[in-house]
Chains A and B, each alone.
Chain A
Amino acid sequence: MTIHVYAGLKDYFSPEFELADEVYDIDQLRACLLAINEQAGKLLAASRFAVEDGFIDNTYKFKAHETVIVVPPSSGG
């Protein structure tokens, strides 16, 4: 699984990296990311997740080799 992170999350993770662990949903992915860097907890808790087709919710099941985008709170404008 390929992970892309943006904005403040780049203070805690590489902008793009491969996740070796198998994760099947958002809860597992969030836990996995927390294990990599627990200091990102607050920001991860407020982040949304997306795949190529758009934003996903907690019911979404990841596909093999999927690219997941971790989207911290917006601050445009």
Chain B
Amino acid sequence: MRQSSSFRPAAGDKIAAAEVAGGTVPGSVRGVVDQPIDMVGLLAGAHDPAAGAVVLFSGEVRDSNRGRAVRFLEYEAQVPLAEKMIAGILGEAKEKWGLSIAIAQHRIGRVEIGETAVVVITAAVHRGEAYAANRYIIDRIKHEAPIWKCEYYSDGTKEWGNNCHCGEVKEDV
């Protein structure tokens, strides 16, 4: 697994929840990174004695979109605004569901098929809160954070994504 240069906790390190929610403390998890996301490292640090459930969502690049073959995606962000917004969403989720840990990290730049574009980790006393908060965080990031994907297709064309198509898909996306 490729490692992100932005955050490499040692296995067993506990991430301070205040750092995660604040988004501005040196050494905390960055909301937006331009290197591969260190999903294993993030998960290794996302443990808390008070949390009986840890949920990790990984949004990954798939090889097709609406019947068209995709070669890769390129993400762009207005980074200061995106990080501020992600920190705010995490803070709201922590308060709403009483999370001990809430982490979200989105990648920008070229992301290949099968790579992680975004990861969300939530830890709570019980799984219900951890799942609900995780879904809330990723939905809000997708719909509100100033982050955009450009899809590069196998036929040589490219297309900027608009809003996601969650509403058009009956199954979970």
Contacts and interface: CB of A to CB of B under 8 A. Distances in A.
Interface of A: 4, 6-8, 11, 46, 50, 54-55, 69, 71-77
A45 to B, nearest CB: 12
Contact of B145 (A4, A7, A8, A76): A76
Given A6-B78, A6-B146, A7-B150, A76 B160 contact: no
Interface stretch (B33-41, B90-98, B123-131, B136-144): B136-144
Contacts of B82: 76
Contacts of A72: 148, 160, 162
A76 B78 contact: no
Contacts of B144: 74
Contacts of A6: 76, 78, 146, 148
28 contacts: A4-B78, A6-B146, A8-B148, A8-B162, A50-B81, A54-B81, A54-B84, A55-B81, A69-B81, A69-B146, A71-B78, A72-B148, A72-B162, A73-B162, A74-B143, A74-B147, A74-B148, A75-B142, A75-B162, A76-B77, A76-B117, A76-B142, A76-B147, A76-B148, A77-B106, A77-B118, A77-B149, A77-B164
B75 interface: yes
Contacts of B163: 73-75
Contacts of A7: 76, 148, 150, 160
A4 B145 CA distance: 16
B114 interface: no
Contacts of B164: 75, 77
B46 to A, nearest CB: 20
Contacts of B75: 76
A7 to B, nearest CB: 4
Contacts of A4: 78
